[in-house]
Structure 1
Amino acid sequence: MKTSVNKFLLTLILMSLFVLAACGGGETGEDDNGNQATEEEDRIYTIDDFNQVKTHEDGAEAIDGGVLNFGLVSDTAFEGTLNFNFYTGNPDVEIINWFDESLLAIDENYAYTQDGAATFEVDEDEGSMTFTIRDNVNWHDGEPVTAEDWLFSYEVIGHPDYDGIRYGSMFTIIEGMEAYNNEEADTISGIEVLDEKTLKITYDQFTPSLLASGVWAYAMPKHLFEDIPVADMSSHDLVRRNPVGMGPFKVDSIVPGESVTYVKNEDYWRGEPNLDGVTLRVVNPNVVVQSLRNGQIDLVNQFPADQYPENAEMSNVEFLASIDTAYTYIGFKLGTWDEEEREVVMDPDAKMADVELRRAMWHAVDNQTVGDRFYNGLRWNATTLIPPSHPDYHDETIEAPLYDVELANTILDEAGYEDVTGDGYREDPEGNELVINFASMSGGDTAEPLARYYIQSWDAIGLNVQLVEGRLMEFNNFYDRVEADDAAIDIYQGAWGVGSDVDPTGLYGRNAGFNYTRYASERNDELLAEGLSEEAFDESYRQDVYSEWQEYMVENIPAFPTLYRARLVAVNDRVQNYAVNFQAGHDIYRYELAVTQEDANAAE
């Protein structure tokens, strides 16, 4: 084996990566070895260093109107599928959130409240929820949002011609939904329109998730979509160019992939927005700092954590942060998706089928050091697939594999992965050449060096891991190929937003299209079902179930989480009433955004 040589190479690449991650201004000095270092490179930040809501210490008053400039940080164009029922990528939902919204509000614990555009009543004995849409909730064209509109979104997603990815456990538990999806019924028997503003949904299985963001709470304007074939909706102008919502701002114009201009919705149900409008534009991570410094943009959806240390004292912005409901991870391709049956099919002969190979690869990477050195503590070692954004369910006591190269080598040796040919790389237990094809996304200063770090880490234990086609993939292409189970991909580095409800079925269930690892097992099915059972209305029972599920996934490793992260945003000084997460827990809503002057402040 070439382990000792690889360790030396790994040390060199780590040194070079850490220099890249910490480059920039700052006071310099010498460390104990006489090497030059910056203050930013040495400082480790924590989530506790930041507020979640924009403060107003200068006492400035908001002006009437004004246009806010929002930066969507991305190195690629947005796809432009601008409807909650059809979008797939986070860039598109960032655009949607300005002009459309959920009918149900949530609090800081992600439980539904009565503060949204619709209120609700629960009948646990009957297994139903009845929703009432407020009388003053209207679409942007002035038509009222009705119970028929809400039902229509369920009919579209449940339709056999639906080409999106939403149809899953959130829908199949509704009485009559599967019969409708299988074309055995023309209607969904479990959804009733009681009157123009009242909708009742009855469930075959009433679960605790239904009270915590487990209801599909996004309506579609039926009067606009009803004559469009379901198969054609996702490509229609009402989704791509002229979307209509019920939110505080209306879409005025779109430059596909580049920008969106919004004007205020004077008829917004919470009240007339303070701003006249919003201009959203895609901002490359490489120029986000310059755009903030010169006042071209007022705020960003997410500031690159690797660029924060050298810009922490930017004079014209305030940095806010919260624990993100997301994590990055390494996923192993273990099967395929059966579109007809809409379920995962495991492949026992998949290249990554051996859990010991997957376990060794987890032990080979030092994620805590990656978080400290690449992101100065703003990302940190992840242990389980339920992140600490859900503190009642994240089990921090679980002992996940930690960085241990010696143990990784031992695991591979004992599993029969040996260097038969003497070329420094291990063959599989049958003596066949083992080349592991790794897909990773482009984006930001650290994307390529981080991917190279993982490759070099696996190289250090004798595994020949290569980037697919020798390069990083842009966002849309990456997820298209991962979702399509491209045979050229064996492992991939992805990221998941877990949403408000802790239930992981939508990402790791047998019938979840988002289960990109294509892993399924009877025990996984059982645990996920227990988390949605009647017994799980007892919070302590549900916590125990999800602790066991986290432990189970740590043992079986269809994917391993790499980093939890802070969601870091930068907000220009002229902006008021901005929260990292607009939710009832902050008592701040998007329509309350305001500015104190016409133009953004530039940095001194």
Structure 2
Amino acid sequence: MLYRKNKILAGILISLLSLSLLTGCGSTTAEIPTTATNQSSSEGAVLRYSVPSSPKGLFSPLLSNTTYDNNVNSLVYSPLVLLDENNDYKPGLAEKYTFSDDNLTLTFNLRKDIKWHDGEEFTADDVAFTFTSIADPKYTGSRFNEISKIVGAQDYHDGKADSISGIKVIDKNTISFTYTKVYAPALSNFSQRGIIPKHIWSKVSIAEWDKQSDLLNKPIGTGPFKLTDFKADQYVELVKNDTYFGGTPKIDKFIFKVTNTETELSELAKGDLDVVELTSTKAEDFKTLKDAGIIIEEKPSANYQFMTMNSNREFFKDKKVRQAITYAINRKGIVDSLLTDHGQVVNTPISLAGWAYPQSGLNSYDYSADKAKQLLKEAGWNDNNGVLEKDGKKFVVDLMVPTGNKVREQSAPIIQQNLKDVGITVNISTMDVASAMAKTKGEGDYDMGVLGFTLEVDPGDADRYWSSKIANGSQFNFSNFINTQSDELIEKGATTIDRNDRKEIYAKWGQILNEEAPYVFLYSQNAIHAHNPKLQGYKYSAYSVFPDIQNWTISK
């Protein structure tokens, strides 16, 4: 399980549209091209998709907080815009969007004649209801940050206003959102949140939404599939939506099957499963699947693992110490031995699968115990029979390791030995994810921790690095990183429209994080999917799990 900031806990992650379209003066309008077809499906076609853990049953895009619930929601509900496998926008519930001259107002023109799964008409009132609900003071979910920069959203959230003045329903097929200042990730946010039906959820108090098991287990959306059955710890069954606006799906039934990771590969090889997101990188497993005719695809992932160092501890206040620890850990060795080269070393917290990762200017911190020892000595740490000491204090620290990720767990003793080689004694403490999460909150009650994160859809949302997040008690500024220049660049990146300019800003920001080394950025394991050759048209990306699913086909 990966740590996510509140808005990322939602799981389904989607990349930002090339906002370079918005440069220059005047209103900017973009038509979203359509490639959907309306061919009939093969009768009786069933797709079985393996998941290692059961959804919780929070089948609402405003409440779900696991990947498994989010995957179901992405088939049931539709957002205003979609992404294809190349992270380009496709039509969702909106067929066109327009930015105002000052880039503060974003207007969506919605498709006409869309129906909810129960036959009711979809309108702009549903969109307004969805995003207003996220700001409601009684809302129990974690999505408010997505719309907090809309005019009036904060006042409504604080109970100081009866509505959000920045959300305007122009007519039943048109809605606009006005921001307090230019906000480049706006489209990104709208692409990751499905719209819920007002005619159903307005009848229930928002404070009670998460307790409505009848409504949650029988969700009504506008997506390509309808949920028909959910058995916790067993499966989720969905059937095609014949009136889906993107075209009737060619697969009649989609089943998420909860599968033991020890048996999923054999089930895939036998044809009892059709898609498996591989966690194994063993050569023998790859060979077995390929011998069975299984198709394996591998792409960069938005996920990465890192080791945080609590800068409130005296050990880690000196940048040279943090840099030394980065040099001391054989990150490439971890990738080679534990991922068998199915991953990449990461040197700054920007997604390798996105558009903003710097192509140059980063220190690669190639493994060097000698370089690490030199920096530690410069920082005043001296060797005393194999253990570093400074001012009479030995360099002995705890490393917390959350359970649930095998590669992460296996990397801990490697890190322990690497640091022992340069004179740092590390005691490993394993714990569940919730306990580790609690220790990172606020100023943090820990020394070091090996953690995971799903990187933002857009770097402009990297607000966990804001210095102010510490004072606000955020659990996501893990290292208690404080840097004014970093804050300024995050703000500039989020309020700059042209993507080329933004890439330069994030290159500078990435270099600061790389130089300051608040974390040891460890590795990003590739996203590896294996699927039945009978499944045709199958696609995925780091930010889109089921792109163009209405066009997938599978032989019976």
Whether 1:206 aligns to 2:182 is: yes
CA contact (8 A) 1:137 1:269 kept: yes
* Residue 139 of structure 1 pairs with residue 99 of structure 2: no
Matched, 1:292 2:251: no
| Equivalent in the alignment of 2:417 | 456
**CA separation in 2, counterparts of 1:353 and 1:236?**
48
2:338 corresponds, among 374, 382, 387, to 374
Q: Percent identity?
A: 21
Task: Give the distance between the partners of 2:215 and 2:326, measured in 1 at CA.
Answer: 41
SS of the aligned residue for 2:460 comes to: coil
Residue aligned with 1:155, SS? helix
Give the TM-score normalised by the residue count of structure 1. Answer: 0.76
- 174-183 or 536-545, larger mean C-alpha shift: 536-545
* TM alignment of 1:62-211, pairs within 5 A: 63-72=42-51, 74=52, 76-106=53-83, 110=87, 112-114=89-91, 117-125=94-102, 127-168=104-145, 170-211=146-187
Cα 1:150–1:542 change in 2 (3 A) is same
**Deviations 1:327-366 (CA, angstroms, capped at 9, x unpaired):** 22223345xxxxxxxxxxxxx4576444333322211212
The change in CA–CA distance for 1:312 and 1:65 in structure 2 (over 3 A counts) is: closer
CA displacement, residues 509-559 of structure 1 (integer Å, 9 cap, x when unaligned)? 4577573415343222210111022xx323332111100000011122233
Q: Which residue of 2 aligns with 1:19?
A: none
Unpaired stretches in structure 1, ≥5 consecutive residues: 1-60, 335-347, 598-604
State the Cα distance separating 1:300 from its structure 2 match. Answer: 1.7
TM-score for the superposition, normalised by structure 2? 0.82
What is the SS of the residue equivalent to 2:301?
strand
Alpha-carbon contact 1:122-1:130 (below 8 Å) kept = yes
The aligned runs of 1:374-453 (5 Å cut-off) are 374-391=338-355, 393-418=357-382, 424-426=386-388, 431=393, 434-444=396-406, 446-453=407-414
2:458 equivalent to 1:477: no
Give the CA RMSD over aligned residues.
Answer: 3.2
Q: Does 1:521 align with 2:478?
A: no
- Report if aligned partners of 1:250, 1:265 keep a CA contact under 8 Å in 2: yes
CA distance 1:349–1:94, change in 2 (3 Å): same
Whole-angstrom distance in 2 between the partners of 1:323 and 1:567: 6
Distance of 1:110 and 1:429 partners within structure 2:
53
> What secondary structure is seen at the aligned counterpart in 1 of 2:305?
strand
Give the 3 Å change call, closer, same or farther, for CA 350–244 of structure 1 in structure 2.
farther
Change (3 A) 1:433 1:494: closer
Query: Partners of 1:231 and 1:490 in 2: how far apart?
Result: 38
Give the aligned partner of residue 503 of structure 2.
543
**Gap change, CA 1:288 and 1:465, over 3 Å in 2:** farther
Distance 2:317 2:138 in 1: 33
**How many residue pairs get matched?**
511
Query: For residue 281 of structure 2, what is the amino acid of its counterpart?
Result: A
Q: Which runs of structure 2 are paired with 1:245-256 in the superposition (5 Å)?
A: 245-256=221-232
Q: CA deviation at 1:588?
A: 5.7
1:465 to 402, 426, 434: 426
The one-letter amino acid paired with 1:528 is I
C-alpha contact (below 8 Å) 2:538/2:549 kept by paired residues:
yes
Aligned match for 2:450, one of 485, 493, 501: 493
Specify which of 538, 548, 551 is matched with residue 592 of structure 1. 551
Residues 115, 233 of structure 1: CA spacing in aligned structure 2 closer, same or farther, 3 A cutoff? closer
Which residue type is aligned with residue 490 of structure 2?
A: L
For residue 494 of structure 2, the aligned residue among 523, 528, 532 is 532
- Residue of 571, 582, 587 corresponding to 2:531: 571
> 1:9: which partner in 2?
none
User: Alpha-carbon deviations, 1:376-425, whole Å to 9, x = none?
Assistant: 321021122113322454334412322111222232233234566x6x54
Structure 1 contact 85–164 (Cα < 8 Å) conserved: yes
SS of equivalent to 1:503? helix
Q: Letter of the aligned partner of 2:170 in structure 1?
A: L
| Cα distance change on mapping 1:214 and 1:246 into 2, 3 Å | closer
Contact kept? 1:582, 1:590, Cα under 8 Å:
no
Distance 1:277 1:214, change over 3 A: closer
In 1, Cα distance between equivalents of 2:377 and 2:331: 23
State the Cα distance separating 1:189 from its structure 2 match: 0.7
Please give the secondary structure, in 2, of the residue aligned with 1:442: coil
Supply the distance in 2 between the matched residues of 1:190 and 1:268 (Cα, whole angstroms): 30
- Does residue 358 (structure 1) correspond to residue 322 (structure 2)? The answer is yes
Distance 1:220 1:483 in 2: 34
In 1: Cα distance, 2:296 partner to 2:456 partner? 23
2:339–2:525: 8 Å Cα contact kept in structure 1?
no
1:581 aligns with 2:545: no
Q: Which residue of the partner structure matches residue 7 of structure 2?
A: none
For residue 515 of structure 2, give the secondary structure of its aligned residue in structure 1.
helix
Matches within 5 A, 1:220-369: 220-237=196-213, 240-306=216-282, 308-311=285-288, 313-333=290-310, 348=312, 352-369=316-333
Deviation, structure 1 residue 68: 1.0
Paired AA for residue 176 in structure 1:
G
Aligned twin of 2:13 = none
CA distance 1:564–1:394, change in 2 (3 Å)? farther
